[in-house]
Amino acid sequence: MTLLLTGATGKTGRYIAQSLSDRGVHARVLIRDPAAAAWVRELGMEPVIADMADASTLGAALAGVEQALLLAANSPGQVPMEKGFIDAAVASGVRRIVKYSAISAGGDEDYRFARWHGEAERHLFASGLDWSVVRPGYFMQNFLMSADSIRAEGRFYLPACDEPVSLVDVRDAADVTVACLLDRAQDGRIRTVTGAESLTMHEVAARMTRALGRNIAYVPLPAQDFIAAMTGAGAPDWLAGGMVEFFAGASRGTRDHLSGCVQRLLGREPIGLDRFLADHAGAFTP
């Protein structure tokens, strides 16, 4: 079966591509930057240059493909891009897509990233293709975005939230995605991926304090202050606004669900926050 990977140079996609390579799975990898071709070849995979945002470039990438991973970074243009990819896949004779999505897509969709993913999911469901969907929760790796302030100040700043949030390591989400790619028994299934515990941000700070050996504090910011801080640091306003919406949902108690997916599907415990912090201690240490 010819497999096409999209998003393989991103945060989660790299783990997926490496995991498949470790299993001896050959895949075609869609890239926009020719400089990534060497890394793809090192994995024993085939690079193909195309732009998922331009369906007219996808013909060669999709030719002869039976299954594709649809993994796209969040962006305001995400919905038409993913819909265009799905339509191009149908036209090229692809039989199955595994879509990498987000928690709450297809449900409350009370933040923009979930709405974007949910709209693309519904387009996939109506396409006639076989499908699986992976919906990860809040990534532990998102704390790396606060590494500068943790190193310099011993603080991290997020939109005000005092309720627990289910955290997941990107590596667990990647392993679940690989399982869905390799097992046709996952057809028609939606896998919500979380870790084994939900924590408040104050509890996260306490874990960081213990792991890093110095006092780390969580500083909750009002929504507008958080948006101003993020955009002032160069982040796009849609990203800052989406994070505010996500944590507003957490404040209503809608982000603490624990799915047990890793335990059931992979037969092991999820990676915990303590291991994440140990693995990335250098990023947080002055």
Domain identity same for 146 and 99? no
CA distances to 48, 86, 90, 111, 115 from 107, rounded to whole Å, are 35, 21, 26, 11, 9
Domain identity same for 8 and 129? yes
Give the mean pLDDT of the chain.
96
Domain edge (last residue) among 136, 155, 175: 136
Q: Smallest Cα–Cα separation from 178: which of 39, 33, 15?
A: 15
Rounded to an integer, the average pLDDT of 48-65 is 95
Domain identity same for 103 and 157? no
- Backbone φ and ψ for 136, nearest 5 degrees, come out as -80, 155
Query: In the chain, what percentage of residues exceed pLDDT 90?
Result: 93
Residue 239 located in a structural domain: yes
What CATH number is attached to the domain comprising 240? 3.90.25.10
Could you report the per-residue pLDDT of 96-133, keeping only the tens digit for each? 999 999 999 998 889 999 999 999 999 999 999 999 99
Rounded to an integer, the average pLDDT of 22-44 is 96
Rounded to an integer, the average pLDDT of 81-87 is 97
**What is the reported pTM?**
0.95
Could you report the per-residue pLDDT of 180-222, keeping only the tens digit for each? 999 999 999 999 999 999 999 999 999 999 999 999 999 999 9
Domain identity same for 94 and 203? no
Q: Are 273 and 204 in contact (CB under 8 A)?
A: yes
Domain identity same for 77 and 151? no
Q: Secondary structure of 116-145 in the HEC alphabet?
A: HHHHHHHHHHCCCCEEEEEEECEEHHHHHH
Range of the domain at 97: 3-136
pLDDT of residue 250: 87
Domain identity same for 212 and 252? yes
pLDDT of residue 54: 93
- Residue 242: CB atoms within 10 A of its CB come to 19
Rounded to an integer, the average pLDDT of 153-178 is 96
- For residue 251, pLDDT over 90 is answered with no
pLDDT of residue 252: 84
Residue 182 located in a structural domain: no
pLDDT of residue 205: 98
Domain identity same for 79 and 146? no
Domain identity same for 111 and 151? no
Residue 95 located in a structural domain: yes
Q: Are 166 and 270 in contact (CB under 8 A)?
A: no
pLDDT of residue 160: 86
Domain edge (last residue) among 136, 157, 179: 136
Domain identity same for 148 and 74? no
Number of domains in the chain: 2
Query: In the chain, what percentage of residues exceed pLDDT 70?
Result: 100
Domain identity same for 56 and 107? yes
18, with CB counted inside 10 A (0-12, 13-18, 19+), is: middle
Distance CA 131, CA 99 (A): 7
Domain identity same for 125 and 149? no
Rounded to an integer, the average pLDDT of 55-74 is 96
24, with CB counted inside 10 A (0-12, 13-18, 19+), is: exposed
